[in-house]
Amino acid sequence: MEQQLEKALNEINSQPDTVGCLITNRQGLCLGAAGKINPKMSGIGMALSEQACKLEPNLNPPTIVLYSGNKRCIIQKDGEITGVIYKESSSN
């Protein structure tokens, strides 16, 4: 049933610099995760994307990027689901 989802997650996770990724539903419950990412992050990821959507509720949901040193956390909401990707660039 969730094979498609897992395939997509593994595909995302095989991109350069990607550490982990997950997908969450509207309730902030994790639908699937791949790589080194804590599934508990789904609730906070959802909360962050919801908060950012309040800025301009009439526009499409924005992409949120958190930066910390050479690490990045990218969050994007699309309808009912929200995706979270952890990235760590090796350049530093």
Partner 1 sequence: MEKFANQIGFLVLKDDGAVLESGGELENDERSANIFLDLINLTESVDENFMPNSSCERISIVYEDHSYNICMSNRRIYIVKLRNGSANSRMGGLGVSSNSSVYVDANEGNMSSTGAALLT
Partner 2 sequence: MDTPSLVMSKDINSYFEGLLKKVHGLYIIQITDRDGAPVMRVSQDKNVDFTLTPSFISTFTTASDQAGKLGLGRNKTIISMYSNYQVVQMNKLPLILTFVGSENCNTGHILALEHQLDAYLEDMRLAVSES
Residues making contact with partner 1 (CB under 8 A): 12, 15-17, 19, 37-38, 40-41, 44, 47-48, 51-52, 54-56, 59-60, 62-69, 71-74, 76, 78, 83, 85-87, 89, 91
> What residue 9 binds from partner 2, partner 1, none (CB within 5 to 8 A, per partner kind)?
none
List beta partners, residue 75.
Answer: 64, 84
CA gap 53, 84 in Å, rounded: 15
Residues 6+ apart with CB under 8 A from 63: 74, 75, 76
Interface positions with partner 2 (CB under 8 A): 24, 26-30, 40-44, 46-47, 50-51
